[in-house]
Chains A and B, each alone.
Chain A
Amino acid sequence: MRFFNRTDSVVSLAALALLAAVPLLTSDNYVLGILITAICYAIWAGSWDLLSGLTGRENFGHSLFIGAGAYAAAYLNTAYGIDLGWGIVVAPLVSGTLGALIGLPTLRLQGPYFALATLVASAIAHTLCLLLWRVTGGEEGLSGILPMAGSQSDYYYLVLTIGFVSIAAMKLFALSDAGLVLRAIGSDEAICRAAAIDVDAYKITTFAFSAAFAGLGGALFAGYQLTAAPDLLSSGLSITIVVMAYVGGMGTIYGPAVAALFLALIVEYLRGFGEYRLLVYGLILLVVVRLTRHGFVDPFWRWLKGRLA
């Protein structure tokens, strides 16, 4: 395929192999758990970038779709005993539909207005989740999901496979003609309309895809934690994802995903310093916004490739 860069492909497969080898080196469930969490963050950050990085419409309510996916899978399992595997299939459909529904009225908003509308949409969902505690379990969330895989390492391989395929699929989408159109929409929407591009259809479809992958990650995460908690709908999570995307370099898909993977790993290891976690994110964001326009990961990789070639 024309857009496959050989170095990129080799390095990403090597990274996959490295991650796949972890369960062979350690049987420590704690390590695997941290990696599962980190891969979920990578899916979330990559899916955020799919819409927001390409079109420049910054979504500050991504947690809405993550939470919707997690709660959909958890609800099916705890209320009807439907296997988590089906939950992982249904979750992206639920989140994707929500994405299209919310995208329909909000995507014509510009800049800060879109950011605020999505932030508020997720705040409404979070508040409703707490108010409708009879269904959602309120602060406690929905717990008691039946695990899907026999062992942690089986589940880890499932998450790793789905995560890698999702991020690769999103990257290919970004490199495709559709991705090019989305970038064009990001640069100048009016010109795209003048060129007879159905801007609204592109944006709404992409929002649905972005939301669907977020929901998929949400369901995977709920399947690991065996709970869907209201934290997954909180604006704190949305903001964390935006920070990760900024650090990774917006519009590159792999940049936010790699940044998310590393930041989540670092932060999980810093859990002992629990209260400093958000402070670290805040300081990183302050520095990144001030010093760089394209984050750290993508410029670093370009520099490295330049040195290797």
Chain B
Amino acid sequence: MAEILLYGAASSASYALMAVGFTLVFGVARVLNLAHGAFYACGAYAMYGFCAAFGAAPAIAVLAAIAVLAAVGAIVNRFFVEPLRARPMAVLMSTLALSIVAEQTLLITFGSQSRNIPLILDGPVSLLGVRIGAQGLLLIAVAIVVIGALWLFLHKAKLGKAIYATSQDPVGAQLVGIRTSTVFAVVFAVSAAMAALSAAIVGPMQTVSPEMGLMPMIKAFSVVIVGGLGSIGGSIAAALLLGYSETIVSYLVSTEWAQIVSLVAVFVTLVVRPSGLFGK
């Protein structure tokens, strides 16, 4: 039981970190960003680069990777999303193309063999009678802190309130003097930074390879669809739901079958209630 509780929490945390960033972009900028998985992979490779090239300490490399990806997010928004904003399917295709290009560039630059990035916290810890990697606990803690901070930022800070207002009505927000282009840039930067953070913490526990972004993005998709596109609370609830049901299925049946749980959940949600469990 305790095992399911902890491992379920760890995988829910990684899903939530990816999904909240993804849904933030959809909720505010109304953009389905198919390059979110590419942000994840680039985040992991940025950390790899900082560790391998400059010998940076893992904790420093994580911060550097987050900063780089925040900039990448804003640039992507400026040059590949903003000019196409009037055509939602074109934005979808543009970000899809970008993710293909990013993945293939990583593949050509670094090759298909997987790389390792260092753990930030090493060694196993015993908790509730379960041995779990310290990095797994770090993941849970980071997810809670970061998503909590984001929630506070959106509800308390001035810029956060501007983001919130834009998500409700972009034209109305412009009328009261909110610069929506800045809001979109910030949202993209935050979303990409969260993907990088997730990759930097989850990456060392798995392997780093060019196509590593695909699965997390599919999971983020699943979480966001089940929770309701654009709803941060819904994403957190759905991340817990999917994280735990996958953990339970992999304990009771097998890890292979766990893969299909979230896919089926998404399909059923899309068919039965496209707005998601907690969507408007």
Contacts and interface: CB of A to CB of B under 8 A. Distances in A.
B96 A239 contact: yes
A116 B225 contact: yes
A296 B188 CA distance: 31
B83 A290 contact: yes
Contacts of A144: none
B270 A285 contact: no
A276 B108 contact: yes
Interface string B192-212: 000000000000000000000
B1 interface: no
A106 B270 contact: yes
Contact of B93 (A120, A124, A130, A289): A289
Contacts of B83: 290
B121 interface: no
A131 B98 contact: no
A45 to B, nearest CB: 15
A123 B221 CA distance: 12
Contacts of B174: none
Interface residues of A, number: 33
A161 interface: no
A111 B270 contact: no
Chain B at the A interface: SS class: helix
A246 B271 CA distance: 27
B104 A278 contact: yes
B264 A279 contact: no
Contacts of B94: 286, 289-290
A281 B254 CA distance: 36
B97 A286 contact: yes
Nearest to A282: B100
Interface residues of B, number: 36
A228 to B, nearest CB: 21
A117 B104 contact: no
B270 A131 contact: no
Contacts of A276: 104, 108
Contacts of A112: 32, 88-89, 92
Contact of A275 (B84, B104, B222, B274): B104
A246 B90 CA distance: 10
A283 B101 contact: yes
A200 to B, nearest CB: 14
Contacts of B96: 239, 285
B263 interface: yes
Chain A at the B interface: SS class: helix
Contacts of B97: 243, 282-283, 285-286, 289
B257 interface: yes
Contacts of A127: 259-260, 263
Contacts of B271: 105-106, 117
Contact of B274 (A113, A120, A289): A113
Q: In the complex, which of the residues A112, A283, A285 has the most CB atoms of chain B within 10 Å of its own CB atom?
A: A112
Interface in A201-232: none
A275 B111 CA distance: 10
Q: In the complex, which of the residues B108, B256, B270 has the most CB atoms of chain A within 10 Å of its own CB atom?
A: B270
Contacts of B263: 120, 123-124, 127
B104 A111 contact: no
Interface in B234-279: 256-257, 259-260, 263-264, 266-267, 270-271, 274
Interface string B68-97: 000000000000100110001110111011
B218 to A, nearest CB: 7
Contacts of A283: 97, 101
Nearest to B263: A124
A284 B270 CA distance: 31
A56 B104 CA distance: 29
Contacts of B84: 289-290
A117 B257 CA distance: 20
A113 B103 CA distance: 24
Interface in A250-309: 275-276, 278-279, 281-283, 285-286, 289-290
Interface of B: 32, 80, 83-84, 88-90, 92-94, 96-101, 103-105, 107-108, 218, 221-222, 225, 256-257, 259-260, 263-264, 266-267, 270-271, 274
Q: Closest 6 interchain pairs by CB?
A: A282-B100, A279-B104, A285-B97, A282-B101, A105-B271, A286-B97
Given A239-B96, A279-B105, A289-B93, 14 more contacts: A111-B89, A116-B221, A120-B270, A123-B263, A127-B260, A127-B263, A131-B256, A276-B104, A278-B103, A278-B104, A282-B101, A285-B96, A286-B94, A290-B84
